[in-house]
Structure 1
Amino acid sequence: MNYEPKNKDYRKRVQASFDRQKFMDLIGAELVEVTPGYCEIKVPFNESLTQQHGFFHAGVISTLADNTAGYAAFSLMEADSTILTVEFKLNLLAPGKGDVLIGKAEVIKNGRTLTICRSEIYAFRDGNATLCAAGLSTLIELKNKSDYR
């Protein structure tokens, strides 16, 4: 879908918000791409991000689903607003087994207050991608609220 951002500086704004998320630092996440209504984030493999079988932990996978959806939606919002997740559902489809996780999300409905996004999380191993999770998120735009603390 083609969306028009309400803020011409949406890329800088998304990057600045992403950079303030200390948890993204902790897991080594990188904001790869943001366009109006779309976001992609990657997380390289790290032993400390695994569960007992050596796969990426579902908490990391769900974090990617949440953040990619959040920033896909945030890219369309007014400069004087912020965003929060209202709810999300995630289906874990395959183990997160790979060298890197890549999360991709797109806005599927941009409402006045609520935005709905679809996210997909892929595990890449030896150049091959496996869809390991699919999610659906609802996010709320809080108008006239700073994105800073």
Structure 2
Amino acid sequence: MGFVGAVMTHLAPGECTIELPYREELSQHHGYFHGGVIGMLADNAAGFAGYTLMPDAASVLTVEYKINLLAPAAGERMIAEGSVVRAGRNLVITRAEVFVARGDERIHCATMQQTLMTMHPA
């Protein structure tokens, strides 16, 4: 996340927010944030939200996610808000809502659902 300039701005049990300032290198041919960057930010925000509810000795692995791109991600920064839907012993279901900010306006540009696997120590 450091490579792209993303910053975690909120972390609490079952919650995580990550923000990313716009840079041309992160855009697609129309100048919007690229869909791959949107997916990466959503994956990390939801993944860290799930990880907060896992045992201390465990690690996390994304098993699956599905993302819907709802609107062009045209803005000054992107905000991904991850939260836990259900935390089980081995599987954790999360979601992320992704927004772009333009001035005082926030536009909902993507929504994602994710399955995480708790990697218990051997």
Root mean square deviation of aligned Cα: 0.8
Match for residue 90 of structure 1 among 62, 67, 79: 67
1:63 aligns with 2:40: yes
Q: How does 1:73-84 map to 2 (within 5 A)?
A: 73-84=50-61
Equivalents in 2 of 1:119, 1:63: separation in Å? 11
Equivalents in 2 of 1:118, 1:84: separation in Å? 15
Equivalents in 2 of 1:88, 1:41: separation in Å? 17
Shift of 1:82: 0.2
What residue is the counterpart of 2:23 in the other structure? 46
Q: Deviations over 1:87-124 (max 9, x none)?
A: 00000000110000000011011111000001100000
Higher helix share: 1
Unaligned stretches of 5+ in structure 2? none
Equivalents in 1 of 2:61, 2:46: separation in Å? 11
**Secondary structure at the residue paired with 2:36?**
helix
Shift of 1:51: 0.2
**Secondary structure at the residue paired with 1:52?**
coil
* TM-score (ref. length: structure 1): 0.80
**How many residues get paired?**
122
* TM-score (ref. length: structure 2): 0.98
Higher strand share: 2
Equivalents in 2 of 1:116, 1:90: separation in Å? 14
What residue is the counterpart of 1:7 in the other structure? none
| Counterpart residue type for residue 11 of structure 2 | V
- Runs of 4+ in structure 1 over 3 Å off: none
What residue is the counterpart of 2:99 in the other structure? 122
